[in-house]
């Protein structure tokens, strides 16, 4: 189950996509906000609703979902339909990989982060022990249904958070993509129309290209961790207070500072202005040493130092191993203090 069928169209969900063949039963997973986006054509299927937010990406919630799949009579030929943001698709994908040793699932991402990133590529996870995504699997969805209209009901802070992932993807893709994202406003995405669809389509092309080259994240796919080496540590220290994309935005600033080794490069200044303009944080009251310690617990750490993704320029993103802790701490110290 390595390839997903990806459908992107405005109005896809209101048109009522047919439910997948469900000889073995089916369960729809959503949170209490995203349940409104369950297509009318699926409302006859049993549902399992969770509370919105990162706290639901937990071991306990995973257990409840596995129990719900069991009680709904979903067997090996069954299907899980996950309608929601990254929390719903990360949790749902992991449950689908475990139930009866793996069932098929459909991802219906409704947040911007979900539509450009989380629902595509098959990485699933829950958080455990204070760390991000500590327990997970690779289990790509059978299909991904992306409807930009879902963005019309997304809260402004979550839209802004998603723009950080859009920016990350554009920086990996190159100068042309980055230039188009520099002109992007949250309003364009909030309208959920063809212009938003175009942005999503570009991001998805970049992500699926890297995933197809390297499903198991052992090579080029690791470039997608740009901003995340720092971001996951920041997010885990501020779980519930700092949104995923907010942490990734700060992580992008760290990645450019680490690459340049000096303050005030033109790119760092541009990124800071862009993030600020979207309402995202560009500094944070956290001790660099605490963030470094959290990075030390991150699963991507390797012997002899950290692996980090350095941002030299749009399209010039480099994976570097054995980065000394002192260099990371210096970049963190400067960015967190906003200097
Ligand atoms: N698996 C991956 O490759 C991957 C990639 C990036 C991020 N992630 C994960 O994704 C999560 C962040 O994603 P997120 O920002 O979507 O979080 P989320 O699922 O918590 O969604 C954010 C909020 O928006 C609400 N929401 C979502 N869609 C809505 C809509 N259309 N209308 C109204 N409200 C809506 C949700 O209920 C929630 O309150 C993090 O846990 C992160 O680790 C995973």
150-194 per-position pLDDT tens digit: 999 999 999 999 999 999 999 999 999 999 999 999 999 999 999
> Count of CB atoms within 10 A of residue 127's CB?
22
pLDDT mean over 125-132: 91
pLDDT confidence of residue 190:
98
pLDDT confidence of residue 4:
74
Residue 86 has pLDDT above 70, yes or no: yes
pLDDT confidence of residue 67:
98
pLDDT confidence of residue 3:
61
Residue 299 has pLDDT above 90, yes or no: no
Domains and CATH numbers, the chain: 5-153 (3.40.50.1970), 156-337 (1.20.1090.10)
In short, whether 110's Cβ falls inside 6 Å of ligand 1 is yes
pLDDT confidence of residue 302:
54
What is the atom index within ligand 1 of the atom nearest the CA of 56?
20
What is the atom index within ligand 1 of the atom nearest the CA of 235?
43
Residues 245, 118, 293: CA angle, nearest 5 degrees: 55
pLDDT mean over 125-151: 95
Distance CA 184, CA 166 (A): 10
In short, whether 152's Cβ falls inside 6 Å of ligand 1 is no
Distance CA 87, CA 90 (A): 5
pLDDT confidence of residue 1:
39
Separation of CA 103 and ligand 1 centre (Å): 22
Separation of CA 323 and ligand 1 centre (Å): 31
Q: Whose CA is nearest to atom 11 of ligand 1?
A: 86
Residue 298 has pLDDT above 80, yes or no: no
In short, whether 246's Cβ falls inside 6 Å of ligand 1 is no
SS3 string, 32-97, reads: CCHHHHCCHHHCCCCEEEECCCHHHCEHHHHHHHHHHHHHCCCCCCCEEEEEECHHHHHHHHHHHH
pLDDT confidence of residue 261:
84
Supply the DSSP string of 159-224, one letter for each residue.
Answer: HHHHHHHHHHHHHHH-HHHHHHHHT--HHHHHHTSHHHHHHHHHHHHHHHHHHHH-TTSSSGGGGG
Using the Cα atoms of residue 212, residue 217, residue 223 and residue 228 in order, give the sign of their dihedral: positive
> Count of CB atoms within 10 A of residue 184's CB?
18
Cα 310 from chain centre? 19
Separation of CA 161 and ligand 1 centre (Å): 9
Residue 239 has pLDDT above 90, yes or no: no
Here the tokens at position 159 are 């839209």
What is the atom index within ligand 1 of the atom nearest the CA of 245?
15
Q: Over the chain, what is the mean pLDDT? A: 94
Longest dimension (CA), the chain: 59
Distance CA 31, CA 38 (A): 10
Strands 306-313, 316-323: pairing is: antiparallel
In short, whether 272's Cβ falls inside 6 Å of ligand 1 is no
Separation of CA 87 and ligand 1 centre (Å): 5
pLDDT mean over 120-134: 93
Of all residues in the chain, what percent carry a pLDDT higher than 70? 97
Residue 317 has pLDDT above 70, yes or no: yes
- pLDDT higher for 211 or 131? 211
Pocket mutation for ligand 1, best pick of 49, 61, 85 (most atoms within 8 Å of C-beta) = 85
């Amino acid at each position: 189950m390595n390839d997903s069928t990806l459908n992107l169209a405005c109005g896809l969900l209101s048109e009522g996509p047919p439910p997948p063949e469900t000889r073995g039963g089916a369960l729809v997973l959503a949170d209490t906000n995203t349940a409104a986006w369950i297509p009318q054509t699926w409302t006859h299927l049993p549902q399992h609703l969770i509370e919105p937010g990162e706290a639901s990406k937990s071991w306990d919630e995973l257990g409840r979902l596995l129990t719900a799949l069991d009680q709904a009579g979903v067997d090996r030929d069954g299907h899980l339909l996950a309608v929601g943001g990254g929390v719903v698709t990360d949790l749902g994908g992991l449950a689908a990989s475990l139930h009866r040793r793996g069932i098929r699932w459909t991802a219906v991402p409704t947040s911007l982060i979900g539509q450009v990133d989380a629902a595509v590529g098959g990485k699933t996870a829950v958080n455990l022990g204070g760390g991000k995504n500590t327990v997970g699997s690779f289990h790509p969805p059978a299909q991904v249904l992306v409807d930009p209209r879902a963005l019309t009901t997304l809260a402004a802070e979550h839209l802004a958070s998603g723009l950080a992932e859009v920016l990350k993807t554009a920086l990996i893709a190159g100068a042309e993509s980055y230039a188009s994202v520099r002109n992007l406003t949250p309003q364009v995405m909030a309208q959920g129309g063809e212009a938003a669809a175009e942005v999503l389509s570009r991001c998805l092309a970049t992500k699926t290209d890297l995933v197809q080259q390297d499903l198991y994240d052992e090579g080029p796919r690791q470039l997608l961790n740009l901003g995340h080496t720092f971001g996951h540590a920041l997010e885990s220290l501020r779980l519930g207070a700092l949104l995923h994309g907010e942490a990734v935005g700060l992580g992008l600033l760290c990645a450019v500072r680490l690459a340049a080794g000096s303050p005030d490069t033109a790119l760092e200044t541009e990124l800071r202005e862009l993030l600020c303009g979207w309402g995202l944080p560009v500094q944070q009251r956290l001790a660099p040493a605490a963030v470094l310690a959290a990075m030390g617990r991150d699963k991507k750490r390797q012997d002899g130092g950290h692996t980090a993704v350095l941002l030299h320029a749009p399209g010039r993103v480099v994976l570097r191993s054995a980065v000394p802790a002192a260099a990371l701490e210096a970049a963190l110290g400067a960015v967190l203090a906003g200097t």
